[in-house]
Structures are given as C-alpha cells and as structure tokens.
Amino acid sequence: MSTKTQKIIGWVLTGLIALAFIGSASMKLAGGTGAEEASEAMGLTAETIKLIAFVELISVALFIVPRTGLLGTLLLAAYLGGAIATHLEHQQPFFAPVILQGLVWIAAVLRFPELSRRFLGTKELA
C-alpha cells in the first residue's frame, strides 16, 4: 500500500471517528431522555455526563489536528478504555467501544507512520 493511500484511508477513518464522537458528545450535551436513562443506569449524574461530553470534544479535536494527533490518540484510547470498563462493570454490551478503539488505533498508525516503527519495529506499515 502506498504512503498516499495510507494517508487517505487514515484521514477517512479519522473523519468517521470524529463524526462518531461529535455525535456522541452532542447527544450528551442535548440531554435527551435516552441519554439520561442510560447514564442513570451507570450511576452517572447529568453534570458528569456533560463533563464527559467536553472530554470527548477536546480529545477528538486534538485527534483531528495533525500536530496534536498523537496526544489525541492517547486521550481517545484512554477514554474508550474507560468506556469498555464501565460497560463491563454494568454488564452491558461493550462491542461498540472495542470496535471504535480499534479504528482509532488503525487511523493513528495510518496517519502517523512513526507509530508502526515504534510499536511494530517496521520501517513502513506492511
């Protein structure tokens, strides 16, 4: 796969991930009944949900900007790790955050080739 193709796929994935997080944060900030019921089931207050929404927006903004993309990747990975743990704790399906976590890392490796060099010990993504 050429470097140009890797970058394009990485940016397409980044856009899809950004849309997912922006949509999620918007729903949390809008405070619909579905979001309130789900958060109450997990023991979260309305204020906590709004804080989580802001964390999502800041993390995804850092993820989108090339200069801060690695920091954004780490923040999104930590956020999704917490989401996975919360879903497991409350015996809820955890597939969505796991899949999103995988997509975040795939996009990051495609956008930032230094990640594959550091983690996989390769010169390029295979």
Q: How many Å apart are CA 114 and CA 71, to the nearest integer?
A: 14
* pTM, 2 dp: 0.86
pLDDT digits (tens, 9 = 90+) for 1-40: 788 898 999 999 999 999 999 999 998 888 776 767 777 7
The 10s digit of each residue's pLDDT in 34-80 is: 767 777 778 888 888 899 999 999 999 999 999 999 999 999 999 99
* Residue 41: how many other CB atoms lie within 10 Å: 10
Q: In angstroms, rounded to a whole number, what is the distance separating the alpha carbons of residues 101 and 74?
A: 11
CA-only gyration radius of the chain, Å: 16
Q: Is the pLDDT of residue 126 over 70?
A: no
Q: Round to whole Å and give the CA distance between 36 and 13.
A: 29
